Structure 1
Amino acid sequence: MQSFDCIVDNISIFKHKALQWATSFEVACFFDSNGYEDRYSSYTAVIAAGVKTEFAPQPGEAFSGLGNFLKDHPSFTPGFMCYDLKNELESLRSENPDLLHFPDMYFFVPQHLILIKENTVEILSEQPALFEEINACIPTFNSLQFDGELQATLSREEYIRKVDRIKEHILRGDIYEMNFCQQFYAKAEQLDPLAAFIKLNETSPAPFSSFFKLRDKFIMSSSPERFIKKSGTKVISQPIKGTAPRGANETEDELLKRTLQQNDKEIAENVMIVDLVRNDLTKSALPGSVKVEELCEIYSFQQVHQMISTVTSQVARNTDVVEIISNAFPMGSMTGAPKVRAMELIEEFEETKRGIYSGAVGYFDEQQNFDFNVVIRSLIYNQSNRFVSFQVGSAITFASDAALEYKECMLKAKAMLEVLSR
């Protein structure tokens, strides 16, 4: 591909035009940091469109096949990994109902790639006039039409009963933390995925927002969480555990933030997962290189305050990049600990297959670096059967109050509910 650099005065309008242009392709993706400051970020935004070649593996061949695919095609390669790849890594199963039908893994080498750093746009394409073509687009702002009736797989009462049963497993010593999720869903005869993503991104802008179109399947994500990134020989993971609402005014907001920062239960949950992530990174790391750079720091987003820790490690230059990811997958913040037993109980207590929810979306670059989010705070849509859903969850420990955990789930659902309000 040829490379072209341009300076753009209004990057927000250009991003909108480029996303609108990209969605005309059967396969496209858009990753947006939404202006959040992140010392580990490589790009302000990324847009990829069109397929040169793609990788959608057979069951049981995802991680091994991905390694070969990346070696055969050393280029910028976006894609996603579903939570249920756990079955390839451990002796686990996924037998709960699934109406979204996403492949467990998908990656593609794009025909056109747009890399944005602040107001500098780099276009990699065989189409030399692509910047002019995109810039000539007239951005449309379609209002979102949604005609579905949202339903929940669990009532509040059913959720509370299940949390109490999970706590019995904790009391017996089977686990000490489990991420328990529930699904909201609808049949939607009218749903414009692009309009839904734009509304979600306006309602809840986040540093790891993503839009992914795989033909008839769509991911519309406002994720605040990084799963794992590799930059040179450094690996970074930033698990989230601990959530509080934003206040109605500055005084209330600071109080809520400080209360979260001092909440012993939330701190304990975060530390448990930090220990799990440290163990996951150690499997690929140089001895003694795993460090906790931030522990239980509070980050503020438009909808919520979040407690985030940053765990890093160093890897040898020849370390297999797919192995780094598979050693940490699925992310501990979405499973619990001990990890395998928590995933067994997730399968038992949850009502639906997770699929891409609590999986990861991101990219590998040609230098074998990578960056992947955690697919949370996301709308997932199958256009063929008109099924749209989102899932929300929280960490259950012995100290959990089931009613408060349900309230936390509904706080996390707020942005998606607002997007799909009628």
Structure 2
Amino acid sequence: MRKAHIHKLKDGQAFKKKALIWSQQFEDVVWLDSNNYHQNYSTYDAILAVDAFTSIQTDFHNAFAKLKEYQTYINDWIFGYLTYDLKNDIEALESKNFDGLGFPDLFFFQPKKLFLFKGDEVEIQYLNFIANELNDDLLAINQSVQLQRGKVASDIKIKLRIHKDEYFDKVNAILGHIRRGDIYETNFCQEFYAENTVINAFETYQKLNDISKPPFAAFIKTKDKYVLCSSPERYLKKEGNTVISQPIKGTAKRSDNPDEDNRLKLNLSKDKKERSENVMIVDLVRNDLSKTALKGSVKVEELCKIYTFDQVHQMISTVTSQVDSTTHPVDIIKSTFPMGSMTGAPKISAMNIAEEQEETKRGVYSGAIGYFSPERNFDFNVVIRSILYNQTKKYVSYSVGGAITVKSDPLREYEECLVKAKAMRTVLEN
């Protein structure tokens, strides 16, 4: 079905940049980049998938059943995204909030052309009927030159969907639910947006990635819709019979002063509120993984470990499980979706309460981007720290969220949101 070719790279970074420039001619593109941040369980340094041969896009109705049928039938590499609103396919939930972006709830495609980067080589896989295009494409990639980089756009006016005083009121309403015992924690999100705005999506992604250099960066182009993602978080990965989840809960800003930076990192590691948030989500993830796990196989490999990124320090835990080889990969995702770090506990009540207080349908934000392989493995990130763009509607959006617990202070939560939003705002306004 695919013809594979191993191509040795003299300068891997240069080839990656040129391949991404070359890819922009296609209507459907997925680019996944670890930025050489080698966390445990890394498989590839980067992946480029372009030019859809087959595809699926749907709303949330029976979305997972349709994806399962598509993945089983195609039995090849497929790339795409799952929006947060697929929760409505799994539970009796709904998404009635405003949606300025209009993305399909689920989208995957089977690429004609695939590049798998690892170390100093790239494995190139082309569908057999276009395998003879490889040499011409390699020549075109090596000749790719980016036009002079300039501003992302001119005069972007970013608006807040929820203003500061209203944000405080909403957090206090959530705290009321927590004190009544309705939930322990929920992830409350807010949107920043710009209307009647044209941006250079590819340029924007590059600038966003340059600022953050995260391990789960992604660029998606599907016709007129773009996702520019600088996520530090893995949602779920399957490698053989092992399933890995790495939820993030707990954020601290960076400092240019090394001593101050170390102090911020140490304070995060000892912060009782942040640790309690993380532990609650770890318990939720353990419960989600147990639905498909072999008995007794769910393990917490890392609890509340601090990882440092260019913009922030993050508290990350790693939970693993073992599954039977007959368990379908889509069923593993469905049983854990949406990810605990973007919902709360108990999960269904937390999602309902968040939906009541939020003003915007989340869509791709707090969903997942990734792939399924022919071996029924998969790897998906959590879509955070991301800019979403509908070129036809001229609508630009980015959202941020935070976990609200009984120990939350509305002002601190608001300030944490601004820290998380900094990279996106910087890219769009500079």
Superposed CA deviations along residues 57-108 of structure 1, whole A, max 9, x for unmatched, are: 3541211111111111111111100000000000000000101011110110
2:343 corresponds to 1:335: yes
Q: Which residue of the partner structure matches residue 413 of structure 1?
A: 421
Deviation at 1:221, TM superposition (A): 0.3
Deviation at 1:323, TM superposition (A): 0.6
1:174 to 174, 177, 182: 182
2:240 corresponds to 1:232: yes
2:294 corresponds to 1:293: no
2:375 corresponds to 1:374: no
Letter in 2 for 1:133: A
Distance 1:194 1:318, change over 3 A: same
Distance between the aligned counterparts of 1:89 and 1:286, measured in 2? 22
Letter in 2 for 1:7: K
Letter in 2 for 1:69: Y
Letter in 2 for 1:285: A
Assess if the C-alpha contact under 8 Å between 2:155 and 2:429 holds in 1: no
Task: Report % sequence identity.
Answer: 50
Q: Which residue of the partner structure matches residue 283 of structure 2?
A: 275
Superposed CA deviations along residues 186-230 of structure 1, whole A, max 9, x for unmatched, are: 025330000000000001110000000011100000000000000
SS in 1 for 2:134: coil
SS in 1 for 2:418: helix
Deviation at 1:41, TM superposition (A): 1.1
Distance between the aligned counterparts of 1:3 and 1:141, measured in 2? 34
Distance between the aligned counterparts of 1:17 and 1:61, measured in 2? 39
**Mapping for residues 15-414 of structure 1, pairs under 5 Å:** 15-125=16-126, 126=131, 127-129=133-135, 130-143=137-150, 144-414=152-422
Distance between the aligned counterparts of 2:10 and 2:189, measured in 1? 42
Deviation at 1:3, TM superposition (A): 1.5
Distance between the aligned counterparts of 2:12 and 2:201, measured in 1? 22
Distance between the aligned counterparts of 1:373 and 1:215, measured in 2? 22
Mark the runs of 5 or more structure 1 residues left unpaired by the alignment: none
Distance 1:146 1:227, change over 3 A: farther
Distance between the aligned counterparts of 1:10 and 1:128, measured in 2? 19
SS in 2 for 1:311: strand
SS in 1 for 2:10: coil
Superposed CA deviations along residues 21-68 of structure 1, whole A, max 9, x for unmatched, are: 111111111000001012201100000110100011354121111111
Distance between the aligned counterparts of 1:147 and 1:78, measured in 2? 34
Distance between the aligned counterparts of 1:265 and 1:57, measured in 2? 39
Deviation at 1:148, TM superposition (A): 2.3
TM-score for both structures, normalised by structure 2: 0.97
Letter in 1 for 2:6: D
Distance between the aligned counterparts of 1:318 and 1:375, measured in 2? 29
SS in 2 for 1:36: coil
Mark the runs of 5 or more structure 2 residues left unpaired by the alignment: none
186-195 vs 284-293, greater mean Cα deviation = 186-195
35-44 vs 394-403, greater mean Cα deviation = 35-44
Letter in 2 for 1:151: K
Letter in 1 for 2:37: Y
Distance 1:26 1:71, change over 3 A: same
SS in 1 for 2:58: coil
RMSD: 1.0
Distance 1:174 1:365, change over 3 A: same
SS in 2 for 1:287: coil
Deviation at 1:321, TM superposition (A): 0.6
Distance between the aligned counterparts of 1:29 and 1:16, measured in 2? 14
Distance between the aligned counterparts of 1:189 and 1:312, measured in 2? 43
Assess if the C-alpha contact under 8 Å between 1:148 and 1:188 holds in 2: no
Deviation at 1:141, TM superposition (A): 4.5
SS in 2 for 1:56: strand
Assess if the C-alpha contact under 8 Å between 2:60 and 2:88 holds in 1: no
376-385 vs 148-157, greater mean Cα deviation = 148-157
Distance between the aligned counterparts of 1:200 and 1:224, measured in 2? 13
Distance between the aligned counterparts of 1:290 and 1:189, measured in 2? 47
Assess if the C-alpha contact under 8 Å between 1:261 and 1:307 holds in 2: yes
Superposed CA deviations along residues 242-282 of structure 1, whole A, max 9, x for unmatched, are: 00011221111110000000001100000000000000000
SS in 2 for 1:17: helix
Superposed CA deviations along residues 137-158 of structure 1, whole A, max 9, x for unmatched, are: 1233522224321000111111
